[in-house]
Amino acid sequence: MTDMDPAAMTTAPITPEALPDLETLALLVAIDVQGSIGAGARARGISQPAASARIREAEARWRLRLLERSPRGSRLTSEGRTVVAWSRRVLDEVQILTTGVASLRSDREATLRVAASLTVAEFLLPRWLGRLNARVPDLRPRMLVVNSAGVEELVRSGAADVGFVESTVVARDLLVRRVDTDELCVVVSPEDPWADRATPLSGADVLSRRWVLREPGSGTRRTFEDAVGGEPACALEAGSTAALLGAVVAGLGPGVVSRRAVQAAVEAGTVREVFTDLDLTRPVHAVLRPGRRHHGHVDTLVGIAAAVRRES
């Protein structure tokens, strides 16, 4: 066999005709292990004539003699043994590739990446995931907690398999499924001028004060501004419900927050709820990226979320 320059072997373009057939390589290895073409064919689950035809086709393609044929049987030539040595390496690497790909796929399928806005993550998603775990114990959900705009971006980029937001407006480039409803309420400190107010707040009342609000991009803030029909003055932007309530208790101004999030504080008297004539209800949506094959358990989780709402 003619020696080849190793550099030429690595840089020469591979044509489709030169690509090795993996089954032929496996057959050659089996012939080497079993000691004959007949035994090698049986090990690969094919007939001896089919094995002979496959070897002849490879010899014609590569212009090499791989087997010495005689009345006593066939055995590998020196070129054949060299090809077998290379074949073992190729088949080992293919096994690594297929095993690795399967591992990546199973890991991805075992991990469900769920992005959720703060209210959903704190008060709704844990219950949904608990029910999902009861159905699919081996699934490993990963929760990504950001504001509503962040949820949409994570889904859009593919970094999350599904997102949940509580907002009246969702980006039009995403698929939207309504799963629940949330309601906001206005709260103040017990010392606030509105603490004992008897009449509901109007939009004009809202715009007369400076507010403790969530950051821009938050579904809570977006819903509040839509209901008011403007942008209330902001005394403090809070990145979490706890920070918002702390600022309200400290007297920085009235705040608006999910009723779910503030119920305990209202019952404890830490803050007072102030009623309004605004529509502060908002849908909770599941959002998905269109045109993308969804994780196998996305529909299960979305269905659970909708079912929990119907039970409530």
Residue type, position 292, single letter: R
pLDDT higher than threshold 80 for residue 312: no
d(CA 39, CA 33): 9
* Residue 77 resides in a domain: yes
- Predicted confidence at residue 8, as pLDDT, reads 42
pLDDT at res. 40: 87
Which tokens sit at 16?
């489709």
User: Distance from CA of residue 85 to its chain's centroid?
Assistant: 42
Pair (32, 95) in one structural domain: yes
Q: Are residues 194 and 282 in the same domain?
A: yes
Task: Provide, rounded to the nearest whole percent, the portion of the chain with pLDDT above 90.
Answer: 42
Structure tokens at 307: 């079912």
* Residues 6+ away with beta carbon under 8 Å from 41: 27, 30, 47, 48, 50, 51
- Final residue of a domain: which of 65, 89, 107? 107
> Considering only CA atoms, which of 309, 311, 305 is closest in space to residue 121?
305
Spatial contact of 169 and 226, defined as CB atoms under 8 Å apart: yes
90 and 134 housed in the same domain: no
Q: Which domain holds residue 53?
A: 6-107
pLDDT higher than 80, residue 18: no
Residue 112 resides in a domain: no
Q: Both 100 and 134 in a single domain?
A: no
pLDDT value at position 155? 92
Give the CATH number of the domain where residue 77 resides.
1.10.10.10
DSSP 207-255: HTSEEEEEPTT-HHHHHHHHHHTS--EEEEEESSHHHHHHHHHTTS--E
Mean pLDDT of 271-299: 88
In this structure, which long-range contacts are made by residues 45-52, counting pairs with CB atoms below 8 Å and at least 24 apart in sequence? 51/27
**Predicted confidence (pLDDT) at residue 264 exceeds the cutoff of 80:** yes
The predicted structure's pLDDT at residue 9: 42
- The C-alpha torsion from 149 through 154 and 156 to 161, rounded to 10°, is -130
Judgement on whether residues 129 and 262 belong to the same structural domain of the protein: yes
Rounded (10°) CA dihedral 143, 145, 151, 153: -90
224 and 132 in a single domain? The answer is yes
Q: What is the pLDDT of residues 167-210, one digit of tens each?
A: 777 788 899 999 999 999 999 999 999 999 999 999 899 999 99
- Indicate whether 1 belongs to any domain: no
Q: Are residues 38 and 127 in the same domain?
A: no
The reported pLDDT for the residue numbered 1 is: 39
The reply to whether 74 and 205 lie within a common domain is no
Domain boundary among 81, 107, 133: 107
How far is residue 253's CA from residue 255's CA, in Å, rounded to a whole number?
6
Q: How confident is the model over 110-123, as a mean pLDDT? A: 88
For residue 2, pLDDT beyond 50: no
Q: Give the total number of structural domains in the chain.
A: 2
Quote the pLDDT of residue 186.
Answer: 96
Verify that 284 and 213 share a domain, yes or no: yes
Residues 6+ apart with CB under 8 A from 61: 17, 18
Mean pLDDT of all residues belonging to the chain: 85
Which residue type does 296 have? G
Of 27-31, 118-122, 252-256, 259-263, the range with the highest mean pLDDT is 252-256
* 75 and 126 both lie in a single domain: no
Kindly indicate the confidence band of residue 251, based on its pLDDT and cuts at 50, 70 and 90. Answer: very high
- Domain boundary (59, 81, 107) is at 107
Residue 141 falls within a domain, yes or no?
yes
pTM exceeds 0.95, yes or no: no
Q: Residue 222 sits in a domain of what CATH number?
A: 3.40.190.290
Summarize pLDDT for 52-77 with one digit per residue, the tens.
899 998 888 888 898 888 777 778 88
Residues 129 and 78 in one domain: no
| pLDDT at residue 81 tops 90 | no
Is there a single domain that holds both residue 121 and residue 170? yes
